[in-house]
Amino acid sequence: MSLICSLSNEVPEQPVLSPVSGCIYEKRLIIKYLHESPTDPINGQPLTEEQLIDIKVTPLGKPKPPSATSIPAILKTLQDEWDACMLHSFTLRQQLQTARQELSHVMYQHDAACRVIARLNKEVTAAREALATLKPQAGITHTVPTQFVNEQSMQPVHHGAMTDVSQTSITTAEGMNDEIIQKLQDKASILTQLRKQRGKRVPEGLTTIDEMRNFRCSATHTALHSASSPGILALDISPKNSSIILTGGNDRQAVVFNKDNEQVVATLKGHQKKVTHVIHHFEEDIAITASSDTSIRVWHIPSAQCLKVLKAHESPITGLSLHPTGDYVLSSASDTYWALSDLRTGKLITKVQDTTSQRGLTCAQFHPDGIIFGIGTQESVIKIWDLKECNNVADFPGHAGSINTIAFSENGYYLATAAEDASIKLWDLRKLKNFKTITLEDRYEIRDLVFDQSGMYLGVAGTDIRVYQAKQWDLLKVFNDHTAIATGIRFGSNANYLASSSMDRSLKFYKQLTQE
């Protein structure tokens, strides 16, 4: 008698008996069934794997089917199997071809979607830049300061550009007359006296050293300048209102930005090449910009009008500094000349060639008193000039490489200089010697130096942003928030915040964040 599985109707290899229904099952089949439903498949009563009873039988070989008992039958079976394999292979090839076509279509759609996304991102960036440009004073008219109108009253005013040919051509220097020299001397005497009074006490509200160490990046703005020509090259803060920031960019524009309401006040367009230097006037809403197009432009910020175009040089401007009187601007160029121009009339007062410099000047900065100024050269020398006599009165050698930037301390005693040798040198102007050298990491680049208004802190912009304590010259803080080299650094009023610009298009602000 043979046993038949109640599930498969075949002879079981491992027969088991269900005590619930008395039926015979293949063990592996009934176990799988019980995993899904713990009942007997015949009568539906509860059944577990432990209740199954193994049946011991003599193992029997399965008989061969009648069709495989002869050689012709075996050959036919093999032929049928071969035909089935070929048909299955053909079906797989068809499915593979269909999958390839579908994948190709999906990849084409993905590529098209990426192109659309890239175009939309570009349009969004352009729209943001246009919005930032249109933000300032729409529909509001502003009056131009009267001191700048005298020579323009008979000429039409063009927003963002000057077409006065007499002002855009190289003018002849008028020379330093007695009236100008007396004006410079009177201002220097007043500033010297004020500086001595300020030096006796620390300014009230000045940021302390501990607070400076706790400065963090508080805001970042990247939409001020065009993304097509990325990079902010110059930075300044209004001394009268420390919320007003002035930047110059690689996109040939200067932007006036209010950090409190985070809006663009004015966009100054007119330069033909990148804007490399910017200065905000001490007391007036006037901006001065210098460019690689060899021109210096004077702007009325509320109306975004170009008031004057100063053409004192025939080569790119490398240095720009405003005299403490607020009436004269000092400039240097790569043609070894420095010049002093009248901000009000646009006339060139004097232009002097540094005959000892063969490869051009790199930077220029007025002393806080305005009687002397410093010039950096490509020959690694800083030269101190007397403005009244137009004489070179002192030289500071010692750097290796072209001078990148210089900065006078507000106390009038110290001069900080930086060159391509990855070092900062501090000079005592009373003793005319170098008393401190800060050596930075190898290949460290320095683009800008600045003292705060109290002379307590020295800011460094370059590979990163750094703040040093003056007199002790200890490193207080390093900021690594920029993703490209930093080009400018300025302190706010009483050093209550720090601003920096970079080639990564960003303008960043740092301050002590309130603990929540």
**pLDDT over 80 (residue 201):** no
The 10s digit of each residue's pLDDT in 306-337 is 999 998 899 999 999 999 999 999 999 988 89
**pLDDT over 80 (residue 210):** yes
> Where are the extended beta strands (E) located within 109-179?
none
Q: Where are the alpha helices (DSSP H) in 432-508?
A: none
**pLDDT over 90 (residue 96):** yes
d(CA 232, CA 294): 19
Please answer whether residues 341 and 328 qualify as being in contact, where contact means their C-beta atoms are separated by less than 8 angstroms: yes
Residue 438 — φ and ψ, nearest 5°?
-105, 110
Could you tell me whether strands 215-221 and 24-26 are parallel, antiparallel, or unpaired per DSSP bridges? unpaired
Give me the percent of the chain exceeding a pLDDT of 90: 53
Domains and CATH numbers, the chain: 15-54 (3.30.40.10), 178-511 (2.130.10.10)
Would the pTM of this model clear 0.85, i.e. be above it?
no
d(CA 418, CA 403): 6
The 10s digit of each residue's pLDDT in 236-256 is 999 989 999 999 999 999 999
Helix (H, G, I), strand (E, B) or coil at 209: helix
Q: How confident is the model at residue 340 (pLDDT cuts 50, 70, 90)?
A: very high
Which residue bears the tokens 């420390």? 242
- Mean residue pLDDT across the chain: 86
Residues 6+ apart with CB under 8 A from 338: 319, 330, 331, 332, 351, 352, 354, 361, 364, 375, 385
* Count of Cβ atoms closer than 10 Å to residue 332 Cβ: 29
The 10s digit of each residue's pLDDT in 98-135 is 999 999 999 999 999 999 999 999 889 888 777 766 65
Please answer whether residues 491 and 453 qualify as being in contact, where contact means their C-beta atoms are separated by less than 8 angstroms: yes
Query: According to the model, what pLDDT value does residue 243 have?
Result: 92
Average pLDDT of the segment spanning 368-374: 91
